[in-house]
């Protein structure tokens, strides 16, 4: 493989000897045929507000990078958030934040496009803007500053980020990015004209186009745009290959987009509807090209629930000889809790014997019915049985605490499930390592639980410590997610535009990489909210009433409010809703907007 070491003067490189993990900043990754910025009409810097090794692992970012590289007259580069040690060095030496491959400062691009993947990366956006020489707030940006765009799931709850972003792209990047770039080109990258033009188009939300004094929720619904046919849409045949280890160090092909399982807590499952499947033939074709073009030693077949893909066996059967010949491992990152999935994992010797991970989410059948997690007690038992029979001796299970209607026995059920795993392992003659990971429930926008409160932090701490104690007594490892982080996640996820003040204040006080436990400091956020006169408990820990408006009401993700309310009712009655991929349509809102599922269409 040819490595292209850019021959350029990049002041950031001068600081490499003084920071941890300098590989984050060297820009020596292999980028296939991506051309430089030279002579391009519009230049785009894709910005990921987290560390290099996280951003490089994100498939969506790779898709956008390839897509922009193939868009006519567009030059593309990328940038990840510098770790606080590099931030300090850049500031101390008055060096601007530069894009990784060209070494060009962020402020010299026409467009800087952020991926909003996780609420707790928001302060990193401010760090990148500030170091890149771009004013933090849209209202302070002059005609020569880049257009700051944002996409990804966070764009569908835009208000807390709105003052910092010029335009939100709502929906699939394969449609929106080329359109955004085309508007930039045709408007000569003239900031005001571009934003005016975008504000008239579907799928773009320009907060500054909301007349002053009027709340965004009174404006027209801004509709998410979706790719209708994954086989016909853009798919990368090569990717940026890292020069050093990253979190998910593999090539990846998306099997399908969207999910119809209908888990009531899951934002991705609701937001990414409708379901669109890539044909097995296309998956195989893309997978082969990716492996040949990148030289990666692992290929992931990814989607929200990969084992639900009807063509999975066919894809694996066709790919196996090809991958074996090249010694490439095949992995399925999301395993369903059933014997079929374990059998499949077992067939993929490449998935290793290290251990398997599943997400029962709740400890009892009753609570799993409430959240619509379609797993029965029998499924769990059969899965454990199969896991240990097939030779694994480690298992990791994900749960949530503080779910709506949770009772004492549901928490006990978490430990009971861990004990059951150990018991079944013992029957197969194994001393299994069982680890449980428990996160506090975060109510999310555009889900049936968007009106539910989060448990107060004290309660989550009590539940977490009591679970940990119980687990220890039963020889099980248990970790629980920091309730302060879950609280902040909810405060941003459920907040309105006023939260942006606290975000800016917290950033000024030093909040950085809030999703990383070693950097997170809730004290900073508590004082920031207080100084802004905001009490996040008032919207995080209290229920919202359906008759009142929500800060994201102006964003239409396609799933209807009526469906969400109906699902909420069913949750409270502990009643499950079947997966519409296998049964009848539940009229989620996509039924008359081109849902491609037979039976769902035109109902």
By CB under 6 A, name the binding residues for ligand SF4: 260, 273-275, 580, 585-588, 590-591, 595, 597, 600
List residues bridging with 145 in a β-sheet.
none
Give least dist CB 593 to ligand SF4, A: 8
For the CB of residue 254, give the shortest distance to ligand SF4 in the complex, in Å.
Answer: 18
Q: How far is the CB of 559 from ligand SF4 (least distance, A)?
A: 8
Residues 312 and 344: beta-carbon distance below 8 Å: yes
For tokens 């590289």, name the residue: 69
Contacts of residue 275, defined as CB under 8 A and 6 or more positions apart, other chains included, come to: 256, 257, 258, 259, 260, 581, 595, 596, 597
Cβ atoms of 56 and 117 closer than 8 Å:
no
Distance, in Å, from the CA atom of 380 to the CA atom of 419, rounded to the nearest integer, reads 12
**Per the structure block, which two tokens stand in for 216?**
């965004």
Minimum Å gap between C-beta 23 and ligand SF4 is 42
Shortest distance in whole angstroms from residue 582 CB to ligand SF4: 10
Kindly state the smallest distance separating residue 217's Cβ from ligand SF4, in Å. Answer: 25
Looking at beta carbons only, is 286 or 595 nearer to ligand SF4?
A: 595
CB of 202 to ligand SF4, least distance (A): 20
Please compute Rg for the chain using Cα positions: 24
The smaller minimum CB distance to ligand SF4, of residues 155 and 259, is found at: 259
Q: Which residue, 104 or 273, has its beta carbon nearer to ligand SF4?
A: 273
The smaller minimum CB distance to ligand SF4, of residues 151 and 258, is found at: 258
Q: What are phi and psi of 479, to 5 degrees?
A: -120, 145
> In this complex, which beta carbon is closest to ligand SF4, that of residue 420 or of residue 585?
585
> Which residue number has the CB closest to ligand SF4?
600
> What are the two backbone dihedrals, phi and then psi, of residue 460, each rounded to the nearest 5 degrees?
-65, -40
CB 74 within 8 A of CB 66: no
- DSSP label at residue 302: E
- Taking the least distance from each CB to ligand SF4, the nearer of 181 and 266 is 266
We find the least distance from the C-beta atom of residue 344 to ligand SF4, in angstroms, to be: 25
Would you say 71 or 591 has its CB closer to ligand SF4? 591
Closer residue to ligand SF4 in complex, CB, 98/559 = 559
CB nearer to ligand SF4: give 163 or 600. Answer: 600
Please report how close the Cβ of residue 115 comes to ligand SF4 at its closest, in angstroms.
25
Q: Are 168 and 62 in contact (CB under 8 A)?
A: no
CA distance 263 to 575: 12
What is residue 412's DSSP assignment? H
Residue-wise burial string across 309-348, b where 16 or more C-beta atoms lie within 10 A, e elsewhere: bebbeebbebbeeebeeeebbbbbebbbbbbebbebbbeb
CA distance 589 to 586: 9
Q: What whole-number distance in Å separates Cα of residue 477 and Cα of residue 460? A: 18
Least CB distance to ligand SF4 at residue 444 (A): 18
d(CA 343, CA 341): 5
- Residue (114 or 590) nearer to ligand SF4, CB: 590
Q: Starting from the edge strand earliest in sequence, which strands make up the sheet with 251-254, in order?
A: 251-254, 298-302, 329-331
- C-alpha to C-alpha distance for 157 and 117, rounded to whole angstroms: 11
């Amino acid at each position: 493989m040819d490595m292209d070491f850019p021959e350029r003067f990049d002041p950031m490189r001068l600081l490499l000897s003084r920071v941890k993990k300098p590989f984050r900043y060297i820009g020596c990754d292999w980028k296939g045929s991506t051309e430089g910025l030279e002579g391009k009409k519009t230049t785009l810097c894709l910005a990921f507000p987290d560390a290099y090794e996280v951003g490089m692992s994100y498939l969506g970012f790779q898709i956008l990078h390839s897509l922009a590289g193939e868009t006519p007259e567009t030059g593309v580069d990328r940038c990840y958030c510098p770790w606080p040690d590099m931030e300090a060095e850049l500031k101390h030496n008055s060096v601007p934040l530069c894009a990784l491959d060209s070494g060009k400062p962020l402020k010299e691009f026409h467009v800087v496009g952020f991926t909003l993947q996780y609420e707790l990366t928001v302060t990193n956006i401010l760090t990148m803007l500030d170091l890149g020489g771009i004013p933090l707030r849209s209202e302070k940006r002059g005609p020569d500053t880049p257009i700051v765009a944002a996409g990804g799931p966070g764009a569908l709850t835009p208000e807390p980020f709105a003052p910092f972003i010029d335009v939100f792209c709502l929906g699939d990047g394969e449609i929106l990015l080329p359109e955004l770039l085309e508007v930039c080109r045709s408007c000569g990258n003239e900031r005001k004209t571009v934003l005016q033009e975008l504000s008239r188009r579907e799928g773009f939300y320009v907060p500054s186009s909301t007349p002053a004094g009027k709340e965004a929720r009174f404006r027209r619904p801004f509709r998410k745009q979706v790719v209708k046919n994954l086989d016909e849409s853009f798919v990368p045949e090569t990717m940026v290959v890292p020069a050093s280890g990253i979190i998910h160090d593999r090539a990846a092909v998306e099997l399908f987009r969207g999910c119809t399982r209908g888990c009531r807590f899951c934002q991705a499952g609701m937001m990414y509807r409708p379901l669109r499947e890539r044909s097995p033939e296309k998956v195989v074709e893309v997978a082969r090209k990716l492996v040949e073009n990148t030289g990666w030693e692992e290929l992931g077949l990814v989607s929200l629930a990969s084992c639900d893909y009807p063509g999975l066996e066919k894809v694996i059967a066709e790919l196996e000889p090809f991958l074996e010949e090249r010694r490439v491992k095949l992995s399925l990152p999301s395993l369903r809790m059933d014997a079929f999935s374990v059998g499949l994992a077992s067939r993929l010797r490449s998935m290793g014997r290290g251990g398997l991970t599943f997400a029962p989410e709740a400890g009892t059948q009753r609570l799993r019915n409430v959240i619509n997690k379609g797993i029965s007690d029998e499924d769990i038992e059969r899965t454990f049985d199969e896991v240990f029979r097939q030779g694994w001796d480690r298992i990791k299970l994900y749960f949530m605490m503080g779910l709506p209607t949770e009772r004492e026995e549901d928490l006990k059920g978490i430990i009971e499930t861990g004990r059951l795993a150990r018991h079944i392992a013992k029957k197969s003659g194994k001393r299994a390592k069982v680890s449980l990971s428990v996160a506090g429930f975060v109510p999310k926008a555009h889900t049936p639980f968007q009106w539910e409160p989060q448990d107060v932090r004290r309660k989550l701490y009590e539940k977490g410590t009591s679970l940990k104690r119980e687990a220890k007594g039963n020889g099980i490892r248990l970790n629980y997610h920091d309730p302060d982080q879950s609280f902040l996640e909810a405060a941003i996820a459920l907040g309105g535009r006023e939260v942006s003040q606290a975000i800016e204040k917290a950033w000024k006080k030093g909040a950085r990489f809030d999703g990383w436990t070693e950097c997170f400091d809730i004290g900073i956020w508590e004082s920031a909210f207080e100084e802004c006169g905001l009490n996040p408990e008032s919207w995080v820990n209290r229920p919202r009433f359906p008759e009142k408006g929500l800060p994201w009401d102006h964003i239409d993700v396609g799933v209807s409010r009526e469906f969400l309310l109906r699902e909420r009712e069913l949750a409270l009655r502990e009643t499950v809703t079947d997966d519409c991929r296998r049964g009848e349509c539940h009229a989620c809102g996509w039924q008359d907007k081109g849902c491609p599922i037979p039976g769902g269409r035109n109902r």
